[in-house]
Amino acid sequence: MAIRNVRKLGDEILRKKSRPVEEIDSKIITLLEDMADTMYYTQGVGLAAPQVGILKRIAVIDVGDGLIELINPEIIETSGEQTDKEGCLSVPGKYGLVSRPYKVTVRATDRDGNLFEMTGEGLLARAFCHEIEHLDGYLFVDKVTEYVEVDD
Ligand code: ZN
């Protein structure tokens, strides 16, 4: 178990494009585990590898229904729309309204190297979009229409 340092807005690594994972070796497994530990420790619902300084296409998500590990995730289908508040572990204390698709299907590889598809609605759909954008160097602040106050 290891908690990694979360990079914050202004750190250039957050703006870089991550590379696909070619081989799932022990370093990737350790990274997945450390990312989950870091996400739970910081009480986030998702974390992407660039946020811990690693430019690889990996994300972890848990919106309350269990841990989802995504290697080389891609959005393959979206529908509907939702506008709700969103935040990011790399932008502490800031929340803003962001429009996202209501329903999102992703295709990704799991830690055993198997391709899978998963469809999420609401918060999970939002998390899929948010985390996958991190892998291309985008942050939610790029899409905020209005900042909001949240007590937490
Ligand atoms: Zn984020």
pLDDT digits (tens, 9 = 90+) for 77-104: 999 999 999 999 999 999 999 999 999 9
Record the pTM: 0.97
How far is residue 7 from each of residues 23, 31, 48, 55, 124, measured CA to CA in Å? 25, 15, 11, 12, 23
The reported pLDDT for the residue numbered 119 is 98
SS3 label, residue 119? strand
Quick one: how far is CA 115 from the chain centroid? 18
**Gap from CA of 137 to ligand 1 centroid (Å):** 10
Cβ neighbours of residue 137 under 8 Å, at least 6 residues apart? 14, 15, 16, 17, 50
Residue 152 — pLDDT band, cuts 50, 70, 90?
low
Rg (CA), the chain: 14
Ligand 1 midpoint to CA 59 (Å): 10
Ligand 1 centre distance from Cα of residue 91 (Å): 8
C-alpha 26 to ligand 1 mean position (Å): 25
Using 50, 70 and 90 to split pLDDT, how confident is the model at 1? confident
- Tell me whether residue 117 is one of the annotated catalytic residues: no
Catalytic residue (one of 131, 133, 146, 149): 131
* pLDDT of 5 above 90: yes
What is the structure's pLDDT at 149? 87
pLDDT at 22: 97
Spatial contact of 60 and 70, defined as CB atoms under 8 Å apart: yes
What percentage of the chain has pLDDT greater than the value 90? 97
